[in-house]
Amino acid sequence: MEPKLLSEAIAQAISERFPDEVKEIREFRGQVSVTVRKERVKEILTYLRSTPQFSFNHLQDVTGVDYLGRKALRFEVVYHLFSISHRHSIRIKAEVGQDDPSIDSVVDIWQGANWPERECYDLMGIRFNGHPDLRRVLLPEDWEGHPLRKDYPLKSDLGERDWKGFKEVVATAQRNRQYEIREVQ
Amino acid sequence: MAGVEDKEIKTRELTINMGPQHPATHGVLRVVLELDGETVLKCTPYVGYLHRGTEKLGENRTYLQALPLTDRLDYISSMCNNIGYCVATEKLFGVEVPERAKYIRTIMAELTRISSHMIGVATHILDIGATTPFLYMFREREWIMDLFEMTCGARLTVSYPRIGGVRNDVSQEFIDSVYEFTEQFPKRIEEYETLIDENRIWLQRTKGIGVISAEEAINWGLTGPTLRGSGVSYDLRKFAPYDAYDKVEFDVPIGKNGDVYDRYKCRMEELRQSNRIIKQCVEQLPRGPVMAPDAPRYTLPPKDRILQDMESMIRQFVLITKGPLAAPEGELYVATEAPKGELGYYFVSDGTGRPYRMRLRSPSFVHVSLLPKLCEGAMIADVIANIGTIDIVLGEVDR
């Protein structure tokens, strides 16, 4: 087995290789996260994937976090990387602003990023440039808004009866009433 | 016959819709297939029919209240989802779990793995055409369900593990029954294998079908037995041991060819290994408490204490109304080995009693995205085999 590196050492290596890109390195409960600018995030991730001493071949997860009103740049796209051959891990966070919520897709590095990126677009509204098939995945195609954003309400102001979908169901039920079979008296 | 030869036979590509209500899709999965004869040209899976917004709900609940939501993800292995949630939150809060609780959780997780693998394999075989193994496997699954019922009253949505331990101690009756199970189960596995392993139809339908190489499997983010069937020995029970996995001996079975048959073999071998783990846990089960001493700040007191003891009632009232003590500020990703693969919880805590962001990384979601790769270019009958082999549960895909 290849030697395991400490997450701190990996974070150090990233900040030496990309000094202008790394904004912050943080540690919590033994897990290290590296916050970077979004412009060259794909380059950083390619570097981590292809350098033999890191070889982060397993992308555990891609997700987004909305820091509405808490941070200058509203969103963060979070990549959890793990190396099956070396058994070390690191978390890369790329900051994405509200005005242009988009970032480069990493599907050509890890195919497994395909659906998680689609989900992030669907629920958080972050576009992934260069993604082969960026469509909504969990919600219907005509859904409005992105539910995991913090300004998306948990419950609508409208009551159940005022909701568009409910009205449609009632209208369909009324229309179908003509086909009802009535018992002959 | 001459007349037929003279006529020009027109052929065209056909688009068919499989699901969302289809017995072989293991839930509400819709697959749109473009066919040329019996060959699949294009396969597009559509999911989301069971989307309940678990992540959004979790962000609006306290750490205590979000636990039962995890039952509803992979609803046939809810114990493992609960354990994953508890392991993650315990790491966030910095709670140390007592030994006995760790062993009980390991027993429960492995019983769940057995039951989940048996459902996975049984329905997979049923889809391909063999009814008998299904009935045999459900007989043993019923035993496991009874064991769960004996301990916590619920069979499916258990919510038995708690932050800091488990809800209540197991009874002697439970331990005896589990031991009896581990004694009998290896014989039962042999029984299943005599029904399946050398069945010619089964072999023809599975060998060399849905092949995926080790490199590709890692690149596609596969985990669990679906990855191990391709020969990659990635198991979080070995890589990042939690609960009592570092105190028991077991092997991680891997396949060679990465086809449907090897993945089936991996699951069957894992049944044996899980049985081995349970047996060791029952033999080593230490005495002691089942809840961490500092856990009162995070978990509810037992119901009988609430009715008799003033302190417990106050504690319950505070926990229900205000939620548990504020979690330390920070973020962490903790993954555990669920029966389907790597189940990850990513928490961003802002220092309050509710998670600022709760993210669920479910193995099935990533596995569904592999379906086009497995099916395109294959025969339409293999679509069924491929859906069965990635062993998905739609509650976990849609969350």
pLDDT above 90 covers a percentage of chain A that reads 10
Look at residue B142 and tell me whether its pLDDT is greater than 70: yes
Which carries the bigger pLDDT value, residue A180 or residue B48?
B48
By Cβ distance, the residue of A63, A66, A110 closest to B346 is A63
Q: What is the ipTM of this complex?
A: 0.83
Chain position carrying tokens 């809840």: B291
CA B328 to each of CA B66, B335, B351: distance values in angstroms, whole numbers, following the listed order: 18, 19, 5
Q: Which pLDDT belongs to residue A10? A: 83
More confident residue, B22 or B29: B29
Name which residue leads in pLDDT, A69 or B3.
Answer: A69
Quick one: which H or E segment has residue A63?
Answer: strand A58-66
Question: What's the pTM value of the predicted model, to 2 decimals?
Answer: 0.87
Domain boundaries, chain A: 6-139
Angle value at C-alpha B236, between B235 and B239, nearest 5 degrees: 90
pLDDT tens profile B224-281: 899 998 888 888 888 888 888 988 988 999 888 888 999 999 999 999 999 999 999 9
Exposed, middle or buried: residue B363 (CB in 10 Å: 0-12, 13-18, 19+)?
buried
Can you give the pLDDT at residue B325? 67
- Chain A residue with the nearest C-alpha to that of B93: A29
Residues of chain B with Cβ-Cβ distance to A134 below 8 Å are: none
| Mean pLDDT for all residues in chain B | 87
The pLDDT tens digits of the residues spanning B58-68 come to 888 888 888 88
Distances (CA, A) of A70 to A74, B171, B174, B356: 8, 49, 50, 12
Q: How far apart are CA B226 and CA B267, in angstroms?
A: 9
Predicted local distance difference test score (pLDDT) of residue B2: 52
pLDDT, tens digit (0-9, with 9 covering 90-100), for B122-132: 988 888 888 88
Q: pLDDT tens across A100-110, in order? A: 888 989 998 89
Side-chain-side CA neighbours of B60 within 13 Å: the count stands at 13
**DSSP code of B14?**
E
Q: B364 vs chain A: nearest CA distance in angstroms?
A: 11
Confidence of residue A1 (pLDDT cuts 50, 70, 90): very low
B331 contacts A33 by C-beta, under 8 angstroms: yes
pLDDT digits (tens, 9 = 90+) for A7-32: 788 888 888 888 888 888 888 888 88
* Nearest CA-CA distance, residue A59 and chain B, Å: 6
Give the C-alpha separation, A8 to B395, whole Å: 37
Across the interface, whether the CB atoms of B47 and A138 are under 8 A apart is answered yes
Q: Which pair of structure tokens corresponds to residue A103?
A: 């970032």
CB contact, 8 Å: A34 with chain B? no
Distance in angstroms (rounded) separating the CA atoms of residues B291 and B195 = 43
Confidence of residue A115 (pLDDT cuts 50, 70, 90): very high
Chain A residue closest to B334 (CA)?
A: A31
CB contact under 8 A, A138 and B48: yes
| Residue A155 confidence class, pLDDT cut points 50, 70, 90 | confident
Q: Which CATH superfamily is domain A6-139 in?
A: NADH:ubiquinone oxidoreductase Nqo5 subunit (3.30.460.80)
Cα(B71)–Cα(B355) distance, rounded to whole angstroms?
18
